[in-house]
Chains A and B, each alone.
Chain A
Amino acid sequence: MKTPARNGRIVPDGRRRFLKGCLGTAGAAVAATVSSPAAARDTYERPAEALGLLYDATLCIGCKACVAACKQANDNPPEFSTADRLWDTPLDTSGYTFNIIKMYRSGTMATKDDEENGYAFMKTSCMHCADPSCVSACPVTAMTKDATTGIVAYDAEACVGCRYCVVACPFGIPKYQYDSPTGKIGKCELCRHRYKDGHYSACAEVCPTGATLYGRTSDLLAEAKRRLALTPGSVTTYPRGNLSGGPDQSYEGKVAKYKQHVYGETEYGGTQVLKLSAVDFEKVGMPYLSPKSSASTSETIQHTLYGGLLMPFAVLGAMTYVARRNVHHEDDAPPPAQPGKEES
């Protein structure tokens, strides 16, 4: 079947035209994909000078000085979970609580750091991922990762409040202030606003046992591996405060029975906050994550489909070509009725 001759030439019928369009589109799409092999995006690594924390759960005594210091440093209001409302008693991190110590409890809770009939502590705060999901998810660059320090920072002025970061984070870290008409996202930014005054992360500054240490992640990772290599029960030196500079505040203590795993060394391409524990990490709320970040998978898909807008434009070109031939104006003079025309 032929459609009417237009401008003196024969227009092929719809099916052939469509197939031509399809071939053109597919060709362009293949060309776009093949010509940009850089589309596949690897998991990012930590910057060389990345800053972070080392939290050693076996040293933590659960005093929550870090929780209070964090509140003060970030000018956050107290949150209550008890009837008397006397003390700041948040049960989890929130839009107003960026750091919290949680407790693992088992059976009689007789001994610290025992999985059975024991208890243990775990710090919950931003891990400052090498390849953060929140940064990849944020549509308006309100979440950024500093190229030098690697600190994952939040800019409320840029934020639209879509909360994709809240949903995307595997650690459940960015939190939103739902009770406010102008709510912001709240999360640990490693006290980057205190550096200019010579301070560092408040949680590490106040930690009495050095359970939370501040420093370069490379130094913290070396320290973590040193501890894992020690014999449980032996005595060693534990630094406190700032590992990568600052006065020596170290003390001697007994080595615990660590799980032989530095949490954060490889998870999602590595995090800048590292953790040691004597209790299985999953049991204390740290999910096991593959070394490949989900941000890299997501961005590989996006760059393959939309990189340089090549594929959308190729498809748009093909569609425009096909649509131009198939769209008829209803106001044009009607063509003479054609024999054999399909009726509706």
Chain B
Amino acid sequence: MSALHHARPAPVGGSLFNATTLVCGVLMAVAATIIVVRLFFGLSSTTNVNDGYSWGIWVVVDVFIGSALACGGFCMALLVYIFNKGKYHPLVRPALLGSLFGYTLAGAAITFDLGRWWNFWHIFWPGYFNVNSVMFEVAACITLYIIVMWIEFSPVFLEKLGLQDARRKLEKVLFFFIALGVVLPMMHQASLGTMLVVMGGQVHPLWQTPIQPLLYLLSAIMLGYGVILFESCVAASAYRRHIELSLLNPMAKVMLGIIAVFLVVRLADVAVRGALPEAFRANHVALTFWAENACLLATFVLIGTVEARRNPARLFLAGITVMLSGILLRLNGFLIAFDTGPGWSYFPSVPELLVTIGIFAAEVFGYIYITRRFPVLPREETYAQPAHS
């Protein structure tokens, strides 16, 4: 099925200077300043990370959660190009854009969290890299995926620059990059879960399992669809466009299917490993376990029926509950249910939080800039925008 029957993407247009971009700009400037301080004075000058919790939110939120929330692009590619559901094509470019920023900034974020960042190239140097390391797989795979995504997205820039020849040549081989763009995130999103395995007993039994890669992969896919629900609703509201309900409704159903599989695998795994009694203890760990899974059950309550999925508010909330669950899954494994021994505690410092906020602000700013200036969102036909370009 071809994309030709859909409205071609077009720049939204409009001014880049408004309250949102101004706030984003300020937050980005603050984050950049803090990063400079960190680079000159070490991690303890700006963060609360310590030897008990050496990975703070710059790793767990910016990279692990940030990249998982950036799975929209790969999830749409999976649906459109692998399952051949061409009708979803209008959602591909906006989703890919979100992923592009999510991953590129996750890559940038890990760089200034690295204690010896000038050695980063060792990850790709055969004399140094360690194929047994889960971190090696994740780092190499994410870097490669960021490059692949820029290639996947480059037709948008070529289109804008009027380089039709280059664009046509690129599109002849684009199928290969699309395939790579599906395989690479499947690999490293799964491996992000495997990262917990080597930590052994430090990770609470409810999250310490050898099937971690499967759980994280399923979680990343459902997060991808959840983020698209969220993004589509926000973009429609912010740009005063209509919501693509005819697409979001069936897509949300696909998402529910994956959530169901995830829940079955998750609970079966906990039960088989005999960790279920841990979920019924009166402590914060059991509570956060139930919160994590209650978010997914709430999704069914919100958009379980076709009628409910026609309600944009419900789709929006469902996007949020799915995202919350994915965020909790990762926070729980790496921070909340991670216990390295007595005497250690961690809560992010204000500068640390400001950098993470700045990174998300950069994503929002980038999304606004690209969608207003480049052909990403489908051209609006019924809701005519002011004339431009």
Contact = CB atoms under 8 A, between A and B. Distances in A.
A123 interface: no
Interface string B26-69: 00000000000001111111010111101100000000000000
B72 interface: no
B168 A331 contact: yes
B136 interface: yes
A327 B174 contact: yes
A228 interface: no
Interface stretch (A79-87, A160-168, A214-222): A160-168
Contact of B114 (A133, A162, A180, A301): A162
B84 A326 contact: yes
Contact of B54 (A163, A295, A343): A163
B128 A141 contact: yes
Contact of A176 (B54, B186, B187): B54
A320 B171 contact: no
Contacts of A95: 51
Contacts of A335: 2, 4
Contact of A294 (B136, B164, B199): B199
A151 interface: no
A21 B87 CA distance: 20
Given A163-B55, A166-B54, A181 B179 contact: no
B198 A294 contact: yes
Contacts of B176: 320, 323-324
Interface in A277-336: 285, 287, 289, 294-295, 297-303, 305-306, 312, 315-316, 319-320, 322-331, 334-335
B175 A324 contact: yes
B2 A328 contact: yes
B114 A160 contact: yes
B7 to A, nearest CB: 9
Nearest to B87: A344
Contacts of B116: 156, 159-161, 182-184
B41 A181 contact: yes
Contacts of B132: 136, 295, 299, 302-303
A140 B81 contact: no
A175 B132 CA distance: 22
Nearest to A175: B51
Interface size class of B (residues with CB under 8 A): 35 or more
Contacts of B54: 163, 166-167, 176
B182 A323 contact: yes
Interface in B178-210: 178-180, 182-183, 186-187, 190-191, 194-195, 197-202, 210
B286 to A, nearest CB: 22
B6 interface: yes
A14 interface: yes
Given A138-B130, A163-B54, A170-B202, A323 B43 contact: no
A139 B136 contact: yes
Contacts of B115: 159-163, 176-177, 183-185
Chain B: interface secondary structure?
helix
Nearest to A337: B5
A48 interface: no
Contact of A18 (B82, B122, B183, B200): B82
A27 interface: no
A341 interface: yes
B176 to A, nearest CB: 6
Nearest to A143: B130
A295 B135 CA distance: 13
B288 interface: no
A252 interface: no
B247 interface: yes
B23 to A, nearest CB: 30
Nearest to A15: B84
Interface in A164-195: 164, 166-168, 170, 172, 175-185
B280 interface: no
A323 B81 contact: yes
A160 B122 contact: yes
Contact of B210 (A176, A297, A337): A297
Contact of B168 (A295, A305, A319, A329): A329
Contact of A322 (B81, B114, B246): B81
29 contacts: A13-B84, A14-B1, A14-B84, A15-B84, A18-B83, A137-B133, A140-B119, A140-B128, A157-B119, A161-B117, A178-B42, A178-B50, A181-B42, A183-B43, A285-B341, A285-B342, A289-B201, A299-B132, A316-B179, A320-B175, A323-B178, A323-B179, A330-B8, A330-B171, A331-B164, A334-B2, A335-B4, A337-B5, A344-B89
List the 9 closest pairs (A to B, CB-CB), nearest first.
A161-B115, A14-B84, A161-B116, A294-B200, A178-B44, A319-B179, A139-B136, A166-B54, A320-B179
Interface of A: 3, 13-15, 17-18, 21, 92, 94-95, 133, 136-141, 156-164, 166-168, 170, 172, 175-185, 285, 287, 289, 294-295, 297-303, 305-306, 312, 315-316, 319-320, 322-331, 334-335, 337, 341-344
Interface of B: 1-6, 8, 39-45, 47, 49-52, 54-55, 80-87, 89-90, 110, 114-117, 119-120, 122-123, 128-137, 139, 164, 167-168, 171-172, 174-176, 178-180, 182-183, 186-187, 190-191, 194-195, 197-202, 210, 212-213, 246-247, 340-343
